[in-house]
Chain A
Amino acid sequence: MTGFADLISWLCLIAGSVFCIIGGIGLLRMPNFWTRTHAAGITDTMGVGLILVGLIFQAGLTLVAVKLVMILAFLYLAGPTAGHAIFRAAHAYGVPFAALTTGVEAPGENSDGSD
């Protein structure tokens, strides 16, 4: 482990942690379910991504690095898929779009849940 790789690694780890905290702050500050999902997205993409990249630099060119890349790929595939399942369920259930500024339709109009 050279000093340079260590430096990048720690910068990524710290930045990732900061973004996780920002995502958490967003969860607390956002007014409703739908806006909170965007705050959670920060933790799921930037927070996780930077922390894993930081760990990859810690691992160097090893099998561990391969596994970390796989974990990253899996999270980036599974995250939005699971997120979509949650959003779709919430939409079908009729979770209100409170404080919606504008919309293509009246909230709830499309919430019959059928397909």
Chain B
Amino acid sequence: MNRTLKTALILVAVWLLWSGHTEPLLLAFGLLSVIIVVAITRRMDRFAESERNQYPGPRFLLYIPWLLWQIFLSNLAVARIILDPKLPISPRLIRVPANQRTPTGQAIYANSITLTPGTASLDIRDGQILVHALNAEFAADLESGEMGARVKRTEKGA
């Protein structure tokens, strides 16, 4: 399907879901907004560097619950550290390989690292992510590479 049309249809659906109004005036506002956004998006696409086929594949839907579970677990771990009278932290910097094929995959990986408390991605270069970890456990968890491998599997054609 034509990309512009696809963008417009998604925007119309989102607008209708978010507003829930059907008065002509508000629908006109919605239509105007959609047209403006589509126009801007088309302009921006001209500057986009490469192929658009960079959305994550369908397996991304399986990755989300796993990520939420990891976020839950690391939240409990960091909360326990914060509430511990001794504050047992041993912050460290580590480098983990971002071996995802696409920039989208690498961005998902870096964002996942930051989303899980206890680890934060500082920088990405030369296919490696520089990560600040709150203690050895968080660092080891990340270095096991499970999250990276799972993100890699979400990529299309993986």
Contacts and interface: CB of A to CB of B under 8 A. Distances in A.
B121 interface: yes
Contacts of B122: 84, 87-88, 90-91
Interface in B92-146: 92-95, 110-112, 114-123, 125, 130, 132, 134
Main secondary structure of the interface of A (DSSP, over half): helix
7 contacts: A19-B79, A38-B119, A39-B117, A42-B117, A46-B71, A46-B72, A91-B130
A103 B92 contact: yes
Given A83-B114, A87-B121, A45 B71 contact: yes
Interface residues of B, number: 36
Interface residues of A, number: 44
B121 A84 contact: yes
B2 interface: no
Interface in A12-29: 19, 22-23, 25-26, 29
Interface in A21-63: 22-23, 25-26, 29-31, 34-35, 37-39, 41-42, 45-46, 49, 63
B82 interface: yes
Given A63-B17, A87-B132, A104-B95, A35 B89 contact: yes
A65 to B, nearest CB: 11
B78 interface: yes
B65 interface: no
Interface centre among A34, A66, A84, A91 (most CB of B within 10 A): A84
B117 A84 contact: no
A66 B17 CA distance: 7
Interface of A: 19, 22-23, 25-26, 29-31, 34-35, 37-39, 41-42, 45-46, 49, 63, 66-67, 70, 76-77, 79-81, 83-84, 87-88, 90-91, 97, 99-105, 107, 110, 115
A38 B93 contact: no
Given A42-B78, A84-B110, A97 B115 contact: no
Given A38-B120, A83-B120, A97 B91 contact: yes
Contacts of A99: 91
